Structure 1
Amino acid sequence: MNALLLDLLPYVRKGYCCSQLLLALARQLDDTEDPGLMCAMRGLCHGIGQSGGPCGLLTGGAAVLGWLSSKNEEEPHPMIDAMTNEYATWFMERVSAYGGTGCESVSAGLAAAAGEPLPEGGMPPMELCGDLLAECWEKLLDIYESYELDGVRN
């Protein structure tokens, strides 16, 4: 199991999904509690409610960048589009072998790469997505540092 996932185990046990786990990491980075935002991130889970939508690691990562880079709702960071584009482009390249950015495609690709069957009609076990989650968090931290976002929210 990925070491980052071990840190997130309490959240995983509560049933948090990928987008919420990225926010949990961002809240630790920013030392902020925002239960309402965690609830809002739930809407991005499992490809937006198992609709076949994009992976929560893609949408959640974009949301985390928006949150970490803004002082308030009236002052978005002037480079938010560039940051989000950088993350999305990286993510699309990272999962391109899986046939798309949808949760199902990414999950099936990760399962195939691990040589594990994907649960029938269900969402992948978090252990399957843990390494990709760690890679996504690493990329988000790279963007956070390169755009000097430390202290923006304070």
Structure 2
Amino acid sequence: MHPLMLELLPWVRQGYCCSQLLLLLLLQAREEENPGLVRAMQGLCVGIGHADGPCGLLTGGACALGLLAGKGADDEEAQPLLEALLNDYAQWFRERTAAFGGGSCDTVAAGLAAERGEAGSGVAGRPDPAGCGELLAEAWEKLLELVQAYDLDITAHTGQA
């Protein structure tokens, strides 16, 4: 088990999904709380409500990067390289999950289970964030790598509470 999963397990047990977990990690790094944003991220869970939708690690990661580099107020501008930043993350995710045959939530969850030598993961057709933990940790590490490569300040506060 990736060491990051030890930190995430309490949140997983509390019912947060993959997209929410990435945002919770980012908010923790920023020493912020934003329950409204975390709640909104639940809309990305389980492939935007059905397992054939995109994996929350892709969409949640894009949202995390948007929080760091996007426009959020009339007097702000998005980081000029936001599109390239998002493209780099999406390309990494596509390459990482290519062997699974796609980037949908259920396809990724099944591919990760197969990598672990398991038949499947989750309950009642819902992928288990703990089962996706290795990829979640990789996604977080990729986000941190991109933050550094694009010279973003992960600790800059957005002014939201």
Shorter-chain TM range is: over 0.9
State the partner residue of 1:146.
149
Does 1:137 find its partner at 2:140? yes
Whether 2:65 is the aligned partner of 1:62: answer no
SS of residue matched to 1:43: helix
Long gaps (5+) in structure 1:
none
Q: Structure 1: how far apart are the matches of 2:39 and 2:92?
A: 26
SS in structure 2 at match of 1:54: coil
- Which residue of 2 is the match for residue 87 of structure 1? 89
Which deviates more from structure 2 when the two are superposed, residues 72-81 or residues 105-114? Answer: 72-81
User: What amino acid is aligned across from residue 94 of structure 1 in structure 2?
Assistant: R
Please report how far the alpha carbon of residue 73 of structure 1 lies from its aligned counterpart in structure 2 after TM superposition. Answer: 3.2
Count of aligned residue pairs for this structure pair = 154
Per-residue deviation, 1:112: 1.2
Unaligned segments of structure 2, at least 5 residues: none
**Equivalence for 1:25:** 25
Answer yes or no: is the 8 Å Cα contact 2:54–2:104 preserved in 1: yes
C-alpha distance in structure 2 between counterparts of 1:126 and 1:137, whole Å:
14
Q: Aligned AA for 2:101?
A: G
CA contact (8 A) 1:69 1:80 kept: yes
In the other structure, the counterpart of 2:111 is 109
Separation (CA, whole Å) in 2 of partners of 1:116 and 1:37: 33
The answer to which structure has the higher helix fraction is 1
Give identity over the alignment, percent: 54
Counterpart in the other structure of 1:118: 120
Q: CA RMSD in A?
A: 1.6
- The alignment's TM-score, normalised by the length of structure 2, stands at 0.89
Q: Does the CA contact (< 8 Å) of 1:69 and 1:153 recur in 2?
A: no
The answer to whether the Cα contact below 8 Å between 1:107 and 1:118 also exists between their aligned partners in 2 is yes
Provide the rounded CA distance (Å) in 2 between the counterparts of 1:59 and 1:121.
22
Which whole-Å CA distance do the structure 1 matches of 2:73 and 2:95 have between them?
30
